[in-house]
Amino acid sequence: MAKHKNMNPDDELQTIAKGNLDVWEQLTHMLEGSYEESGLDPETFMLVRLAALAAMDAAPTSWLVNIKIGKELGISRESAVGALIAVAPIIGTARVVSAAGSILTAIDLDEQMNKSTQKAHRVHH
């Protein structure tokens, strides 16, 4: 990931943790590369990623990137929940409950970012 100009490491980490849109482009590019290399269809690819995020107890920002792309690919919430249910016996219910909370937080982050973007767009026009 390229370092942001004039940004100290602590500020850069805060930016990433908050789901900064500049970082979004870099993460999306990385995700596209791994998709191409996987040879999987889009739905399977995203459901595998969701299962891995749950297993890793990923932060909401990590979920945000994957949820946004999954939504663009037409992955239903039912399929996402199904992936969590499928891995629950392996990773444990605590991780699945944590994943559900992180997903809800990521959805809230996405809505906040969309509102900020819309507000900024209105101010500039």
pLDDT along the chain (125 residues), means of 10: 59 66 71 89 95 95 87 91 96 96 91 79 66
3 belongs to a structural domain: no
The residue range of the domain holding 58 is 39-124
Q: Is residue 4 part of a domain?
A: no
- Domains identified in the chain, total number: 1
Q: Look up the pTM and report it.
A: 0.74
Return the pLDDT at 43.
94
- Establish if 105 belongs to a structural domain: yes
- Give the whole-angstrom CA distance, residue 66 versus residue 60: 10
Asked if residue 30 belongs to a domain, the reply is: no
Looking at residue 19, what is its pLDDT?
Answer: 59
Closest residue by Cα to residue 74 from 97, 45, 51, 100: 45
